[in-house]
Structure 1
Amino acid sequence: MEHDAPQPAPAMRPAVQETYGPADLSAAQIFAGGFINFGYWPGIDLSRPLDETDRIRSQQALYRHVLDALRLPDAARLLEVGCGLGMGCALALAEYGAAAVTGLDIHPAQLRRAREAHAETLRREPDRLRFVQGAAEEIPLAEREFDAVLSVEAAQHFPDLTAFAAETFRVLRPGGRVAVTSFFTPDDSPGRPEDLAELLLTFADGLDIARPVGALANAFAAAGLTEVRTRSIGPGVWPGWDAWLSRWWDEDTWPRNFRHAWERRLLDYYVVTAGRPTDR
């Protein structure tokens, strides 16, 4: 595949632009390995001090968990929405036999880093990997182009889940599947956004958006996707993430409040799956 011609930069919310631009969240030690996710920790011993190997293993495990949920066909064409540095794209190529993987991200700085990180693969296998700039709500790719769409810990940033769902339906081939994992509120009880903003800086400054997991499930169904399923994987995420954070932050500091928000049932981590019907 040839690199797409440069496109006008999609509009970004200021907190997203700052966090993934000059701040470069991927360079932070808490995201060792460049995956930028909280990790999936079953099988990792949390009773001992965690190291960078454990951290990278947890982030890879989250991708594998989501990729397994897609039940990919042989030689699948795969789109990742919110690909960041493209580490998950590379994992899908290496371990899941994808024919081609496209990483989509709204931030040009992240795409530059992704192309640098995977320069050898892009040179050696240009038909199997590409990175494209675009928003989740306005994907600049063809209708029915992909067998599967995934998004790993990016949907909490998407301003319009309805538009994202419609675009997902559009780019999926009939019979294709989508799997999204991220953190959402478990319900739409009044006060959830305010409660989370009080506990967590990322909600207070607008980086993360507090929405119920049902909002994404309902958006998928309204877009025409079927077999919509939501499943909590919080027990496999929050204790490990909190144990990892404890290397740098004390119990009473705001990053440790992710676990407290989960324990108070204000927030949880989910996998949401759906499919495009074969006759549509």
Structure 2
Amino acid sequence: MADETRRDDCPAMRPAVRETYGPADLSGLQIFAGGFINFGYWQAVDLDLPLDEAQRIRSQEDLYRLVLDTAGALRGQRVLEVGCGLGMGCALTLREYAPAEVTGMDIHPEQLRRARAAQAGLLGREPERLRFVQGAAEQMPSAAGEFDAVISVEAAQHFPDLVAFAAETARVLRPGGRAAVTSFFTVDDAPGRPGELAKLLETFADGLDIARPVAALAQAFTAAGLTQVRVESIGSQVWPGWDSWLSRWWAPGTWPRNFLPAYRSGLLDYYVVTAVKEGADQSP
């Protein structure tokens, strides 16, 4: 595993992001069992039966598999994950998709430290295939055309500037490269959406998550010159399972259980957004 690259010029983190992924260590909470930090894709889990930790971890892994499958054939490819957290998705990518190399990028140095600790020894047979770098979604420490695929799993809701993220994604992708991003967004750009979500969900009230329509990301990709931009809702396979899992700790009406009502009332949804950089080798 290559040495972590440090960025002294990395843009400043927003305070809520610094706290949540630093001292608070979201990854250490039981709701994110297994080291992944995402809500999960629960299609393969029977929600009518009691949920256990193994099913929870599968839901998180399956969210990565969905994104990685959407990113195209990755064997022998160079993959960048933006917002890699503890690197569990990077490890899954190496284990199941046989890329040439994976770069995990995160803005938070504490997350990178934890990622190196979490992955130490797991991939020792091929240490150079995985590296971690510090960088922001809006200012990636990578060369133009360096990657065949750029993925991001449940991190874009934190990115302050989707236009800059899209421009950087387009810059670091090679011609024919693909981007695949999954996260939660508002369903439209109605002016009252941020306030409505802030009343329901603490993460929107304290600034950890930013309320923006999914169209903002799709339009940013298009403006950056990416093509074949597609938006797919996967909320029906995310929100009910996430709510069922949360029910082990929180009662209905408590703020963590308000994600499902926000989805059902048409305020919030979960999406996969994909795009392609024009050029050769656009095979799926």
Normalised by the length of structure 2, the TM-score is 0.96
Kindly tell me: are residues 2 and 62 of structure 1, through their superposed partners in 2, closer, same or farther at Cα, counting changes over 3 Å?
closer
Distance 1:194 1:147 in 2: 38
Kindly tell me: are residues 5 and 238 of structure 1, through their superposed partners in 2, closer, same or farther at Cα, counting changes over 3 Å?
closer
Amino acid at match of 1:19: T
> Pairwise CA RMSD of aligned residues?
1.3
Query: 1:188 is matched with which residue?
Result: 189
Distance 2:218 2:2 in 1: 34
Residue-by-residue CA offset, 1:222-247 (whole Å, 9 max, x unaligned) = 00000000000000000000000000
Amino acid at match of 1:39: G
Normalised by the length of structure 1, the TM-score is 0.97
Distance 2:167 2:88 in 1: 26
Distance 2:112 2:145 in 1: 24
Query: 1:7 is matched with which residue?
Result: 7
Amino acid at match of 2:187: P
Query: 2:94 is matched with which residue?
Result: 93
2:129 corresponds to 1:128: yes
1:123 Cα deviation after fit? 4.4
Q: Within 5 Å, which residues of 2 pair with 1:67-82?
A: 67-82=68-83
Distance 2:279 2:108 in 1: 33
Distance 1:213 1:196 in 2: 15
Residue-by-residue CA offset, 1:78-101 (whole Å, 9 max, x unaligned) = 000000000000000000011100
Query: 2:229 is matched with which residue?
Result: 228
Residue-by-residue CA offset, 1:7-36 (whole Å, 9 max, x unaligned) = 215310000000000100000000000110
Distance 2:5 2:255 in 1: 42
Q: Where has structure 1 moved over 4 Å in runs of 4 or more?
A: none
SS of 1:243's equivalent in the other structure is helix
Kindly tell me: are residues 148 and 5 of structure 1, through their superposed partners in 2, closer, same or farther at Cα, counting changes over 3 Å?
closer
SS of 1:94's equivalent in the other structure is helix
Amino acid at match of 2:27: S
Query: 1:168 is matched with which residue?
Result: 169
1:204 Cα deviation after fit? 0.1
Amino acid at match of 1:136: A
What is the aligned-residue identity percentage?
Answer: 71
Distance 2:127 2:96 in 1: 18
Amino acid at match of 1:13: R
Residue-by-residue CA offset, 1:186-233 (whole Å, 9 max, x unaligned) = 110120000000000000000000000000000000000000000000
Amino acid at match of 2:98: G
Conservation of the 8 A alpha-carbon contact between 1:121 and 1:129: no
Query: 2:22 is matched with which residue?
Result: 21
Conservation of the 8 A alpha-carbon contact between 2:5 and 2:133: no
Distance 2:62 2:174 in 1: 27
What are structure 1's unaligned runs of at least 5 residues? Answer: none
Amino acid at match of 1:177: R
1:6 Cα deviation after fit? 2.8
1:175 Cα deviation after fit? 0.2
Query: 1:269 is matched with which residue?
Result: 270
1:262 Cα deviation after fit? 0.1
Name the stretch that deviates more: 68-77 or 231-240.
68-77
Conservation of the 8 A alpha-carbon contact between 1:10 and 1:135: yes
Q: Within 5 Å, which residues of 2 pair with 1:207-246?
A: 207-246=208-247
1:125 Cα deviation after fit? 2.1
